């Protein structure tokens, strides 16, 4: 079964929380305490989202995070790739060729797995954060 990682799950929860904050700045601590997400991991996720221009960050005592993009502009596929790297159903489906399959010459299911890989990617590419808000 395909699973969304904890990092992606936490990112979705944080983005939803921020999007519902009525344009107020939201701190990592506020999200962590409210949603019971480990603070250190959440801070790293929020920093990554800031570095990818999904969030804006204001420093200081009244600082916090706000959305830099509309929720319908943030695609789940991109979020998953950003936080987890290449999403592949099987090792041979990774974009990088570092993981060569030892059965490549005799594999009889690669084309079917490739089709399934594309279908799964298409689902995630058509979902935005607004679908979760």
pTM of the model: 0.86
Structure tokens at 123: 């689902």
- How much of the chain is helix, strand and coil, in % rounded to 5? 50, 10, 40
Question: pLDDT tens digits, residue range 82-124?
Answer: 999 887 877 777 665 555 666 667 788 888 888 998 999 999 9
What single string gives the DSSP state of each residue in 11-24?
Answer: HHHHHHHHHTSTT-
Question: pLDDT tens digits, residue range 18-47?
Answer: 999 988 999 999 999 999 999 999 999 999
Domain spans of the chain? Answer: 6-131
Which of 3.20.20.70, 3.40.50.10710, 3.30.460.30, 1.10.10.10 is the CATH number of 6-131?
1.10.10.10
Q: Chain-centre distance of CA 108, in angstroms?
A: 32
Strand pairing category for 55-58 and 64-67? antiparallel
* Enclosing H/E stretch for 31: helix 28-35
């Amino acid at each position: 079964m395909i699973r969304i990682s904890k990092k992606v799950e936490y990112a979705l929860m944080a983005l939803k929380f921020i999007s519902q904050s009525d344009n107020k700045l939201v701190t990592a601590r506020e999200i962590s305490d409210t949603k019971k997400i480990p603070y250190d991991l959440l801070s790293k996720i929020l920093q990554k989202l800031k570095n990818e221009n999904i969030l804006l960050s204001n420093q200081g005592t009244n600082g916090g995070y706000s959305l830099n993009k509309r929720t319908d502009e943030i695609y789940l596929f991109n979020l998953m790739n950003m936080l987890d790297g290449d999403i592949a159903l099987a090792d041979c489906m990774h974009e990088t060729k570092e993981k060569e399959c030892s059965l490549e010459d005799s594999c009889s299911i690669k084309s079917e797995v490739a089709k399934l890989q594309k279908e799964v990617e298409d689902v995630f590419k058509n979902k935005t954060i607004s679908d979760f808000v």
